[in-house]
Chain A
Amino acid sequence: MHVPDGFINAPTSAVTGVVAAGAIAVSLRGARRELDERTAPLAGLVAAFIFAVQMLNFPVAAGTSGHLLGGALAAILVGPFTGVLCVSVVLLMQGILFADGGLTALGVNITDMAIVTTVVAYAVFRGLVKVLPRTRRSVTIASFAAALLSVPAAAVAFTIVYAVGGTTDVSIGKVATAMIGVHVLIGLGEAAITALTVGAVIAVRPDLVYGARGLTQKLKLRVNGELVDAPDAAPVPLAARSHRKVWITGLVTSLVLAGFVSFYASANPDGLEKVAADHGIDRKTEKHASSDSPLADYGVKDITDARLSGGLAGVIGVGVTVVAGSGVFWAVRRRRTADASPTAVENV
């Protein structure tokens, strides 16, 4: 699924590049909060794990085999921020070192495979874990559903990017059908493997699974013959928790809204155009195309421009949301850390 150079036009690649850079910046901060100074070695090793596990072949039937994409797995095992970082680093290195995926398409690839997959997977996972009973089995079920949805979500994201800035005039319906159809199948495999892998890790080291952190049994103390809840060792920093939730919800909502609104806004004129072409305006276009190809090109350009503006509006909307949100967030955070710094110094 690595998108090469020349597949998506330059402006769209630039916009997705900005989106990817913004998301990576946010994840860098988030990951540092999740892992502190352990970020570099741990995220690096997890990235190496993702890189390696993508090479693990899962035989499907005679001759064919599939492999893990890893976005959902990363999100569930190490958390959404670190997950986005790890998959992005894998994609970056694949692009630069192995020429797998174009350099200018890095933005598209990261947005598609690192951000959308991971964020969708984690949102679905969190939602399900909240709803389902707090057992290990429900974590496995939730990771199945998360991985199942994350892969077609990436296909949808790719289709949207293609609708905005694709360089070939393949009808969006066809691209969507092909991409989503194939990726629902891939998603099934991904879901099974992810759920099995998460289950295997939970069986051995449940403390390592980020998504299963709430599941640990509370420590009980026997005081005078009756069981009493042990006092919590260290209260979780409140600010981090609440912000993360707000963040993910906001980002997902805005992405989904922007994506779908722009998708429908762009799909409608296209459908109309197709109907018009079917009902007799056909001849005129043919005349155009045969007499003067630039004119035909302009016609095409017009449509893509209309789409571009629609899609751009959505993407810019998300961008503005991200920037504004992070501005507020950073301001609040800075104040908090400034307040907390004297005690922190004492602790060290």
Chain B
Amino acid sequence: MGAGHAHKLYRHGHSPVHGLPPHTKLAAAFAFVVVVVSTPREAMWAFGLYAVLLGVVAYVARVPARFLFGRLLIEVPFVAFAVLMPFVAQGERVDVLGLSLSVNGLWGAWNVLAKGTLGVAASVLLAATTELRELLLGLQRLKLPPLLVQIASFMIRYGDVITDEMRRMRIARESRGFEAKGVRHWGVLAKSAGALFIRSYERGERVHLAMVSRGYAGSMPVIDEVTASRAQWSYALTLPFAALVVCLLGWTL
């Protein structure tokens, strides 16, 4: 909470993409990923074009390439999985550098890598250009159940608090000479987790009481209703529509 409500992934800026209403950006990112996923994997050039489209968005949003690529590292665990695919998939096999690889597996690996990377890049761009509170407002605007949005907003707001609490407990453990080395120490760690749960739950009760004493009756007041003009919608939806054209070309060619 002390972090000014801005998450680490957000890059402050005043680009046209930053200025778009959040729900248009959410819709655009989601539609884009749907289009990417439904593109046939044989149309390799289409994925190149998608990457170019995202590059244009990143340029307009003034998100530096280093930031984007750094954030892409999150998909590393599953790159490893994709690399395994050509070895375990069945079907016709082909020899590459003395290794017998499955053609189908190679296509599968390509499919997952290309679509997964594009999906992650789209999410990263969305998170980098949209403030947290805006994102939640956008979700509410997109008719997600208000209760779900409230839960999400509490999770986000108190996520740092709870993580900090966990960090303090770790420091307390370590300052008393504890060092978790193996299974034998799980009991201590689990006790910390239990204490963390109790503290979180009790904090939830306190937060609720504090809210009730300020007039909370089950729904949060919306002070700043976000609206989007037709121009903003069409501006945001340029990305998925361009992608859709590429996708249709990919299916027909």
Contacts and interface: CB of A to CB of B under 8 A. Distances in A.
Interface of A: 4-7, 9-10, 13, 24-25, 28, 31-32, 37-49, 51-53, 55-61, 68, 77-78, 85-86, 89-90, 92-93, 95-100, 102-105, 167-171, 174, 192-193, 196-201, 203-205, 208, 286, 289-290, 296, 300
Contacts of B34: 10, 104
A199 B190 CA distance: 9
A51 B156 CA distance: 10
Contacts of A97: 7, 9, 123, 127, 132, 135, 156
Contacts of A55: 163, 166
Contacts of A296: 91-92
Interface residues of B, number: 89
Given A55-B166, A102-B119, A208-B198, A4 B9 contact: no
A5 B37 contact: yes
- Which label, helix, strand, loop or mixed, suits the secondary structure of the B interface? helix
Given A41-B207, A93-B152, A96-B135, A5 B118 contact: yes
Contacts of A10: 34, 37-38
B196 to A, nearest CB: 6
Nearest to A274: B90
27 contacts: A4-B120, A5-B116, A6-B36, A7-B112, A10-B37, A44-B152, A46-B200, A47-B155, A48-B161, A52-B166, A53-B196, A56-B166, A57-B180, A59-B181, A85-B151, A104-B33, A167-B41, A167-B111, A167-B112, A169-B91, A192-B186, A196-B186, A197-B197, A200-B193, A201-B194, A204-B194, A300-B91
A167 B151 contact: no
Contacts of A169: 89-91, 102, 104-105, 108
B5 interface: no
Nearest to B156: A93
Contacts of B251: none
B12 interface: no
Nearest to A27: B148
Contacts of A204: 194-195, 198
B194 A99 contact: no
A199 B189 CA distance: 12
A51 B165 CA distance: 13
Give the 7 A-B CB pairs with smallest separation, nearest first: A44-B154, A6-B115, A168-B108, A200-B194, A5-B119, A196-B190, A45-B204
B114 to A, nearest CB: 7
Contact of A4 (B41, B116, B185): B116
Interface of B: 7, 9, 26, 29-30, 33-34, 36-38, 41, 71, 74-75, 78, 85, 88-92, 102, 104-105, 107-109, 111-112, 114-116, 118-120, 122-124, 126-127, 132, 135, 145, 147-148, 150-159, 161-163, 165-166, 180-183, 185-187, 189-198, 200-201, 203-205, 207-208, 211, 216-218, 220
B158 A205 contact: no
A28 B92 contact: no
B234 to A, nearest CB: 22
